[in-house]
C-alpha cells in the first residue's frame, strides 16, 4: 500500500511506563466498593482486562453471553 509507505512518524518519543505491581492489584481487588456498585463493576472489568490481557476495545464488547 503506497499510502502506508508515505506515512511519516515523529520518531521515538520518550514516555514514562507506569504499571501496577502484584501488591497493588491485590489491594484493588480487595477494595470494598459495596457502597458504590458502579465503581465495583468497573473495578471488576479492569481486573478481567488485566488478568486476561484484554484490550480496552475488547472489554467494551464483553457481554454476559461471552
pLDDT tens for each residue of 7-27: 777 778 888 989 999 999 999
Global pTM reads 0.69
Question: Which pLDDT score is estimated for 34?
Answer: 95
pLDDT digits (tens, 9 = 90+) for 38-59: 999 999 999 999 999 999 899 8
If DSSP codes are grouped into helix, strand and coil, which group holds residue 23? Answer: helix
Question: Does the structure show a pLDDT above 80 at 1?
Answer: no
| Spatial contact of 66 and 52, defined as CB atoms under 8 Å apart | no
* Cell triple for 9: 512518524
Question: Which pLDDT score is estimated for 12?
Answer: 81
Amino acid at each position: 500500500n503506497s499510502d502506508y509507505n508515505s506515512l511519516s512518524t515523529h520518531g521515538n518519543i520518550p514516555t514514562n511506563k507506569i504499571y501496577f505491581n502484584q501488591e497493588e492489584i491485590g489491594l484493588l481487588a480487595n477494595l470494598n466498593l459495596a457502597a458504590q456498585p458502579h465503581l465495583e463493576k468497573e473495578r471488576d472489568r479492569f481486573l478481567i482486562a488485566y488478568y486476561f490481557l484484554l484490550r480496552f476495545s475488547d472489554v467494551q464488547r464483553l457481554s454476559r453471553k461471552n
